[in-house]
């Protein structure tokens, strides 16, 4: 049974691992995987991979106060558990036990002993100061990390905002005679902007930049500048075209550094919207 | 750091005995990862804090029931947090909550607990980031839309205007490539 329809589930283990199966397909896959050792092993392995994905996110420290809230919530449930489930272990907090048997006079004596023990108190205060300084240092480092992370995250969010726009269209750009191996893909949202990815771009001469153009009925409009990495790849996020224009395509040329208002150099990549 | 994993398991055993310091220890080790994940999914600090609190409350309640053969503790926390955050996201967007989103609906034994331990160690963060950056853009975007936006493959295909089969294949290829890069397998 499992072997006969196994082929129908080739992609399902991966989709299950990233949570992309709709409910009915998930149920079908779970039923199959219970009978199929290969799928069970594959989904276990791919789930392990999926669980590591968050490590790639910018890591941001939770607010300081959250730790106390989490622990206080657990303490609250333990008080409830303690009465019903842990008969032997259920004990009131130390201070309540203490006050239970201490007379008022004994309490006064205890207070006197505590204040007499001023040396120990000062020592504790110093310990607290050291811990406070440590906490402040950690807070400072966390803030620096958060600033760096939010900068990184802003760039990623800008790209993602384009890619999940409801009006997203894709434009494939083909290499022109000056660079036949080059390819490019543009993801264009009229409302949110443009994500452009290219590979196999020839290295730029000194003092030159690639410039991406929106092709319109009239003069091409600059979409922005970019430079590929050493392997000829580039990914950039750029502004959307002006509201009044409807691009019919995109093209890439090499221009002097800083860009030019209208293309002057050879075209390296071009593609039509559809 | 396998040491952190062993310490996690020890902390979980103490947690099952209602040792509150074990919860503090797990919080100090993993709250940052869980919070960053919830923040990425929900993009709201208050909601992300609530998710972290719910996850640790669940851990406190269910530590005794956690099956250690199922993989490591950090991975468990990640799936708890993702599931709760995606539920919230769907409620917010008034999309139907998928029942059964609870992880481990399927009794998945962890096929490679050792590799998994290594993968989840914090020292692997750089490797995971590099592996993700190295994926073809659409493989990466499709995986992110599933994992962080809670979209099904049907919804991803609509969003990216790609054929359904292409999206399924890209997600699979992407995960296989990540696995290859992270475990050093071919």
Q: Give B51-62 pLDDT, tens digit per residue.
A: 999 999 999 988
A150 and A210 inside one domain: no
Q: Which backbone phi and psi does A250 adopt, to 5 degrees?
A: -135, 150
* Over residues B176-181, mean pLDDT: 93
Cα separation, B63 vs B17, in Å, equals 9
Same-fold call for B1-112 versus B121-186:
no
- Matching CATH number, B121-186, of 3.30.460.10, 1.10.10.10, 1.10.10.60, 1.10.3720.10: 1.10.10.10
**Among B19, B21, B40, B160, the residue to mutate for chain A (most A Cβ within 10 A):** B40
Indicate the number of domains in chain A: 3
3-state secondary structure of A183: strand
pLDDT of residue B186: 40
Residue A155 covered by a domain: yes
Residue A187 covered by a domain: yes
Residue A136 covered by a domain: yes
Residue in A21, A49, A12 with CA at minimum distance from that of residue B110: A49
For chain B, the structural domain boundaries read 1-112, 121-186
Residue A52 covered by a domain: yes
Q: What is the pLDDT along chain A (274 residues), one digit of tens a residue?
A: 444 467 778 899 999 999 999 999 999 999 999 899 899 889 989 998 999 999 888 888 899 899 999 998 887 766 554 444 433 334 444 444 444 445 555 656 666 666 556 666 666 777 777 777 777 878 888 888 888 888 778 778 888 888 888 888 899 999 999 889 999 999 998 888 899 999 999 999 999 999 999 998 888 999 999 999 889 999 888 888 888 888 889 999 999 998 999 899 889 999 998 7
- Judged by CB atoms closer than 8 Å, whether chains meet at B106 and A19 is answered as no
Range of the domain at A37: 6-56
Segment 100-119 of chain B within 8 Å of chain A by CB: 100-101, 105-112, 115-116, 119
- Judged by CB atoms closer than 8 Å, whether chains meet at B108 and A40 is answered as yes
Contacts of A11 in chain B (CB under 8 A): 168-169, 171-172
A126 and A173 inside one domain: no
- Judged by CB atoms closer than 8 Å, whether chains meet at B111 and A57 is answered as no
- How close does chain A come to B148, measured CA to CA in Å? 9
A220 and A262 inside one domain: yes
Q: What is the mean pLDDT of chain B?
A: 82
A128 and A209 inside one domain: no
Domain B1-112 carries which CATH code?
1.10.1740.10
A134 and A154 inside one domain: yes
**Residues ≥6 apart with Cβ < 8 Å to B156:** A20, B142, B145, B146, B162, B167, B171
Distance set, CA B51 to CA B74, B88, B145 (Å):
15, 9, 20
Cα separation, A216 vs A245, in Å, equals 7
pLDDT digit string, tens, across residues B3-45: 457 788 888 889 888 888 999 999 999 999 999 999 999 988 9
Residue A126 covered by a domain: yes
Q: Which residue of B has its CA nearest to A45?
A: B111
Contact of B152 with chain A, judged by CB distance below 8 Å, is answered with yes
pLDDT of residue A269: 93
pLDDT of residue A85: 40
Residue in A245, A253, A246, A235 with CA at minimum distance from that of residue A187: A235
A74 and A141 inside one domain: yes
Residue A104 covered by a domain: yes
pLDDT of residue A119: 62
ipTM higher than threshold 0.90: no
Contact of A58 with chain B, judged by CB distance below 8 Å, is answered with yes
- Judged by CB atoms closer than 8 Å, whether chains meet at B182 and A52 is answered as yes
* Over residues B88-94, mean pLDDT: 87
A245: left (phi over 0), alpha (psi -120 to 50) or beta: beta
Reported as type and span, the H/E element at residue A271 is strand A267-272
Place of tokens 């993993």: B30
Nearest Cβ partner for A62 among B23, B49, B152: B49
Which of A160, A184, A202 terminates a domain? The answer is A160
């Amino acid at each position: 049974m499992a072997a006969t329809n196994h082929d129908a589930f080739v992609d399902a283990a991966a989709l299950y691992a990233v949570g992309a199966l709709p409910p009915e397909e998930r149920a079908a896959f779970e039923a199959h995987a219970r009978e199929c050792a290969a799928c069970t092993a594959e989904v276990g392995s791919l789930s392990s991979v999926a669980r590591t994905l968050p490590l790639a996110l910018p890591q941001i420290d939770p607010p300081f106060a959250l730790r106390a809230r989490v622990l206080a919530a657990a303490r609250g449930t333990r008080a409830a558990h303690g009465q019903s489930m842990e008969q032997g272990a259920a004990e009131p907090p130390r201070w309540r036990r203490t006050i239970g048997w201490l007379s008022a006079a004994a309490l006064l004596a205890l207070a006197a002993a505590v204040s007499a023990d001023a040396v120990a108190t000062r020592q504790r205060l110093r310990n607290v100061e050291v811990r406070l300084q440590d906490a402040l240092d950690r807070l400072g480092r966390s803030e620096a990390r958060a600033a760096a992370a939010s900068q990184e995250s802003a760039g990623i969010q800008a790209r993602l905002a384009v890619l999940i726009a409801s009006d997203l269209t894709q434009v494939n750009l083909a290499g022109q005679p000056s660079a036949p191996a080059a390819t490019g893909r543009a993801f264009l949202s009229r409302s949110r902007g443009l994500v452009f990815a290219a590979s196999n771009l020839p290295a730029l001469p000194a003092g030159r930049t690639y410039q991406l153009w929106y092709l319109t009925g009239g003069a091409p409009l600059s979409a922005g500048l970019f430079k590929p990495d050493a392997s000829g790849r580039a990914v950039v996020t750029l502004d959307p075209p002006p509201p009044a224009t409807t691009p019919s395509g995109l093209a890439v040329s090499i221009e002097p550094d800083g860009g030019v208002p209208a293309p002057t150099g050879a075209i390296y990549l071009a593609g039509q919207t559809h | 750091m396998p040491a952190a994993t062993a310490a996690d398991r020890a902390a979980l055993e103490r947690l099952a005995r209602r040792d509150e310091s074990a919860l503090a220890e797990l919080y100090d080790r993993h709250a940052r990862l869980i919070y960053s994940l919830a923040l990425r999914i929900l993009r709201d600090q208050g909601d992300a804090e609530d998710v972290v609190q719910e996850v640790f409350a669940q851990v406190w309640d269910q530590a005794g029931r956690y099956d250690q053969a199922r993989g490591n503790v950090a991975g468990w926390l990640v799936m708890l947090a993702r599931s709760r955050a995606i539920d919230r996201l769907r409620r917010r967007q008034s999309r139907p909550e998928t029942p059964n989103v609870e992880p481990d609906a399927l009794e998945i034994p962890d096929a490679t607990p050792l590799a998994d331990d290594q993968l989840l160690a914090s020292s692997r963060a750089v490797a995971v980031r590099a592996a993700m950056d190295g994926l073809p853009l659409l493989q990466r975007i499709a995986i992110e839309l599933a994992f962080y936006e809670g979209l099904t493959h049907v919804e991803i295909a609509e969003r990216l205007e790609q054929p359904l089969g292409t999206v399924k294949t890209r997600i699979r290829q992407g995960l296989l490539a990540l696995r290859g890069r992270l475990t050093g397998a071919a």
